């Protein structure tokens, strides 16, 4: 399957048009990640968003798993939007396929697709609330 077909199959992108996803796909990369491999590193400035197409990824803060991202979900949106360092490390817990989108194209897509922006902002707020509870 192509990047566009993989993204179109995910509920989170239901409101995006084929043309919008095609634009993002031109700059996105689909990669296979072996179980145990790290995708992001807590405290670093990486700025990419990951969409899990197949498999699952553990989100770890200070060495402890705090969330599980499954096929159809995404992570990295907080840093892509605010430009800050990664709040967590992510690690594939099984062989996983992800679509990697740079922060500029991700933000352009959010600007073009209000329904997607609303979903991403809601997910981001929930994740930040969870972080506040952990640190509070």
The domain spans of the chain are 3-135
pLDDT at position 39, please?
Answer: 97
DSSP for 11-65 reads GGGTTS-HHHHHHHHHH-EEEEE-TT-EEE-TT----EEEEEEESEEEEEETTEE
- Given this structure, which CATH class describes domain 3-135? mainly beta
pLDDT digits (tens, 9 = 90+) for 116-126: 788 878 887 88
pTM: 0.84
Q: Is the pLDDT of residue 135 over 70?
A: no
pLDDT of residue 136: 61
- Segment 88-117 mean pLDDT: 89
Q: Which 3 state secondary structure label does DSSP give 48?
A: strand
Q: What is the mean pLDDT of residues 82-92?
A: 92
Residue corresponding to tokens 């995006």:
16
Query: Across 8-17, 46-55, 103-112, 117-126, which has the greatest mean pLDDT?
Result: 46-55
């Amino acid at each position: 399957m192509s990047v566009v077909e993989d993204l179109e199959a995910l509920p989170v992108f239901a409101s995006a048009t084929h043309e919008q996803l095609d634009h993002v796909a031109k700059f996105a990369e689909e990669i296979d990640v072996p179980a145990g491999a790290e995708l992001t590193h807590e405290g670093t400035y990486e700025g990419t968003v990951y969409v899990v197409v197949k498999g699952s990824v553990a989100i770890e803060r200070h060495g402890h798993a705090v969330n599980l991202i499954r096929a159809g979900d995404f992570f990295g949106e907080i840093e892509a939007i605010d430009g800050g360092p990664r709040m967590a490390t992510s690690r594939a817990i099984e062989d996983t396929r992800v679509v990697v989108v740079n922060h500029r194209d991700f933000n352009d897509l959010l600007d073009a697709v209000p329904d997607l922006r609303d979903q991403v902002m809601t997910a981001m707020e929930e994740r930040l609330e969870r972080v506040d509870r952990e640190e509070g």
